[in-house]
Each structure stands twice: as structure tokens, then as C-alpha cells.
Amino acid sequence: MAFLTDRKRAVGMGSAKSGTEHHWQMIVSSVALTGLIPLFVFTYGAALGMSYEDAAAYYARPFPSIVGILTLLVGFLHFKGGVQTLIEDYFHGFARKALIIGSICLSYAAAAVGVFAIVRIAL
């Protein structure tokens, strides 16, 4: 018979590795998005209905381009974290691993395409 404390019995039984870090990343990205989304709406709303030449000149200015790029990057990183949590909660086994890898690839690819599009228009 072993005399184990509750803590000793629980060690190795659960995750307790990166949950706090993931939670803080989601909190920080959501707080950043609360400021970025209104800025994005106002800067993008001003560009609605413009011709391509006018929009290219508008996004050649640094503020609208930086706001658009930051919104895309922070938004897709927040998306990646949220979808990963959803997949971890509802899927198991190989499907979990495949879906997490797919969602990470999708979010990074979408962010890269969005940033490339803004840079292409701005330059």
C-alpha cells in the first residue's frame, strides 16, 4: 500500500500543460480584435465603391494597410485557436489530429493570402 497525496495521484493524469497559455492567447487576441475590428470597418467602409485605382491609392497610405494586415493576422490567429479548441472538444483519434493540422494550415494560408492581397494592392 502506497501513501500518496492527491497531487501525486493526479500527476500525469491530465493535460495541465498549455491550457493557460492558450487561454491567455485567446484573451489577448480577442481584446486586440475589439479595437481592430471597428478600425477595419471604418477604413474598409471608406474604400467601398471605389474604383481599383482609387482603392490602390487609398491602400497605398500606411494606416489603412496596417489596419487591414493587423486585422487579418490577429483574426486568423484567433480563428486558429478557437477552431483548435472546438476540434479538441468534439473529435478523437486520428480525425482530431488531421483536423487540427488542416485548420492550422487553412488559417495560415488564408492569412498569407490576405496579407499578400493587401500588399499587392498597396504597392
- Domains of the chain in start order, with CATH, are 22-122 (1.20.1300.10)
The CA-atom distances, in angstroms, between 122 and each of 3, 101, 119 are 67, 32, 5
91, 71 in Cβ contact below 8 A?
no
12 CB-near residues (< 8 Å, 6+ apart): none
How far is 121 from 115, CA to CA, in rounded Å? 10
Stretch among 3-17, 56-70, 88-102 having the lowest mean pLDDT:
3-17
Which amino acid is residue 69, in one-letter code? I
Which tens digit of pLDDT belongs to each residue from 33-46? 999 999 999 999 98
Which tens digit of pLDDT belongs to each residue from 24-33? 999 999 999 9
- Whole-number average pLDDT of the chain: 90
Number of Cα atoms under 13 Å in the Cβ half of residue 17 = 4
